Amino acid sequence: MIPHAPILAVFLPLLAAFVLPLVSLLERRYKIPLAKEWVSAIFVIAEVMVVFSVFPDAKSSVVAYQLGGWAPPLGIVLAIDALSALAALIIVTVGALVFIYSFIYMRRESGVEHYYALLFLLLGGCVGVVFTGDIFNFYVFFEIMSIASYALVAFRRHLWGIEAAIKYLIVGSLGTSFILLGIVFLYGRFGTLTMANIMELMGQVAARDLVIPLTCFLVGIGIKVAMVPFHFWLPDAYQGAPSPVSAFFSGATATVGVYAIARIVYVLFGAASVGSLLVVLGLITMVVGALMALVQRDLKRLLAYSGISQMGYVLVGLGLGTALGIQGALFHIFNNAVYKTLLFMLVGAVIWRVGTSRMDELGGLWKNMPITAFMFLLGSLAIAGIPPLNGFASKWMIYLAGIEYGGWGYVVTAIALIVSALTLAYFLKALSSVFLGQRPSHLANVKEPPAAMLLPAMVLAVLCVVFGVLPQLGVDLVEPAQRAISDLNGYIVGVMGG
């Protein structure tokens, strides 16, 4: 591990967010071409290296980093176990690819230095949420992440983007207020903010005293992961945001939400008994998302609803609570990050070339954009759970977990299978509407986007195939995280000491 890697992983993106406006000033004054892009690239590469260096250590034990040398519970501690490391790995990988994609996609926009600064703030907030071992810092980083998100949705200052950002701001603030309220209840009860310390004391409290704080967290995080009925903000926000931002939201921010559910419900509260609640909410989320996606006219809204639906699978896997179910859920969130980021990048490529994401105005683009179209086909098949792509492997694990559970687990598997068929249906509609059929005459001269925009998408498309053909790689990747969720004592000892 790189020395001080845990704090560097949080500090580097925040530093970048403040350095970039200065770099932009120098770029304008001294006419240095692409200075902010180069500086962004350097910071992103450094961030990826730092987070990847933590992963091997965190896989086997909890990496506890005490800020200022103050031991918990007095001091603030960054606590990185395999679950945090997996989430951070997904976040920085998606983040790095989105940055590369943005270098071309955003060059037509003005005020790009603010865009990169906000994206770094978002990245820093995400990494902070998954690395912190302190519940109040969890809230602070959650707010940093959320505020950066609101600003990014409104970045283009289009009417619909601003409207979506205001809706997201109000609903998101309601969510973070619920989280803060939950923290207040916990602090009032336990007198500490260190998660491991709260876990130690949790056994001394009657279950009825945990109902309100746990509900507050579930609502707050439920809004972030767009669990039905807290999902309404998401399609507007994804549609209003620039495509790279939507890609980041669907890949990285969604991962943070799932991490938060696993960390708070299973690890902090040790409340595996609410698993059946998560399964029910997951099933509703899965079905509502799929049925709404089926009737969308706009590609980005379709992808947004499909993201809601996929989150349902993750909630179901987590809620089943078995080793297989949790592994399936974690593998699915990894896969979801891969193909949803890919699909948003490809839709962004279409918008970049054509100027619209309305399916009724598109068609026949396979001839013009064969690489984009082929990758969209791959992503669509992956998200629908068609073998031999990665979505199949994680969905298969969730199906098996349902069957293994027995009883109503069979019903869960049956619904999940039907929703997979619906997913295939609406992605075939998207593929047919955008890339097949007759091409409107005004689209005759449309070309592929530049290679630098296609490259990150290609990386993700390759991952779809690799983790589909070699799914054991994915299982091996998520297995330590699943063990970390189950090993509450290991987390407490790792943070608080023997």
Which 205-264 residues touch another protein, going by CB under 8 A? Answer: 207-208, 210-212, 214-215, 218-219, 222-223, 229-230, 232-233, 235-236
Does residue number 393 form part of the binding site for another protein (CB under 8 A)? Answer: yes
Residue 280 token pair? 């029910």
Nearest to another protein of 361, 450 (CB atom): 361
Q: In angstroms, what is the minimal distance from the CB of 293 to another protein?
A: 11
Nearest to another protein of 24, 306 (CB atom): 306
Does residue number 304 form part of the binding site for another protein (CB under 8 A)? Answer: no
Q: Which string of x and - marks every residue 431-450 that binds another protein (by CB under 8 A)?
A: -xx---xxxxx---------
Nearest to another protein of 77, 292 (CB atom): 292
Please select the residue that binds another protein; options are 46, 400, 417, 459, rule is CB under 8 A. Answer: 400
Angle between helix 135-153 and 159-190 (nearest 10) = 170
Q: Which string of x and - marks every residue 263-282 that binds another protein (by CB under 8 A)?
A: --------x-xxxxx--x--
Q: Among 11-19, 59-67, 143-151, 290-298, which window interacts with another protein (CB under 8 A)?
A: 290-298
Please select the residue that binds another protein; options are 365, 475, 495, 496, rule is CB under 8 A. Answer: 475
Per the CB < 8 A criterion, the answer to whether 404 and 322 are in contact is yes
Q: Which string of x and - marks every residue 105-134 that binds another protein (by CB under 8 A)?
A: ------------------------------
Q: Among 24-32, 192-200, 204-212, 240-248, which window interacts with another protein (CB under 8 A)?
A: 204-212
Report how far residue 66's alpha carbon sits from residue 296's, in angstroms, rounded to the nearest whole number.
49
Nearest to another protein of 212, 411 (CB atom): 212
Count CB neighbours of 324 within 10 A. 20
Q: In angstroms, what is the minimal distance from the CB of 413 to another protein?
A: 14
What number of chain residues touch another protein (CB under 8 A)? 72
Does residue number 360 form part of the binding site for another protein (CB under 8 A)? Answer: yes
Nearest to another protein of 114, 358 (CB atom): 358
* Per-residue H/E/C for the chain: CCCCHHHHHHHHHHHHHHHHHHHHHHHHHHCCCCHHHHHHHHHHHHHHHHHHHHHHHHHHCCEEEEHHHCCCCCCCEEEECHHHHHHHHHHHHHHHHHHHHHHHHHHHCCCHHHHHHHHHHHHHHHHHHHHECEHHHHHHHHHHHHHHHHHHHCCCCCHHHHHHHHHHHHHHHHHHHHHHHHHHHHHHHHCCCEHHHHHHHHCCCCHHHHHHHHHHHHHHHHHHCCCCCCCCHHHHHHHHCCHHHHHHHHHHHHHHHHHHHHHHHHHHCCCHHHHHHHHHHHHHHHHHHHHHHHCCCEHHHHHHHHHHHHHHHHHHHHHHCCHHHHHHHHHHHHHHHHHHHHHHHHHHHHHHHHCCCEHHHCCCCCCCCHHHHHHHHHHHHHHCCCCCCHHHHHHHHHHHHHHHHCCCHHHHHHHHHHHHHHHHHHHHHHHHHHHCCCCCHHHCCCCCCCHHHHHHHHHHHHHHHHHHHCHHHHHHHHHHHHHHHHCHHHHHHHHHCC
Please select the residue that binds another protein; options are 297, 411, 489, 497, rule is CB under 8 A. Answer: 297
Please select the residue that binds another protein; options are 176, 296, 368, 380, rule is CB under 8 A. Answer: 296
Report how far residue 125's alpha carbon sits from residue 16's, in angstroms, rounded to the nearest whole number.
13
Q: In angstroms, what is the minimal distance from the CB of 237 to another protein?
A: 11
Nearest to another protein of 75, 270 (CB atom): 270
Nearest to another protein of 432, 489 (CB atom): 432
Q: Among 74-82, 92-100, 306-314, 472-480, which window interacts with another protein (CB under 8 A)?
A: 472-480
Residues 412-431 that bind another protein (CB under 8 A): 422, 425-426, 429
Residues 46-65 that bind another protein (CB under 8 A): none
Please select the residue that binds another protein; options are 471, 480, 484, 494, rule is CB under 8 A. Answer: 471
Nearest one of 230, 228, 246 to 238, comparing CA atoms: 246
Q: In angstroms, what is the minimal distance from the CB of 397 to another protein?
A: 5
Residues 139-178 that bind another protein (CB under 8 A): 166-167, 170-171, 174-175, 178
Residues 325-344 that bind another protein (CB under 8 A): 327
Nearest to another protein of 24, 413 (CB atom): 413
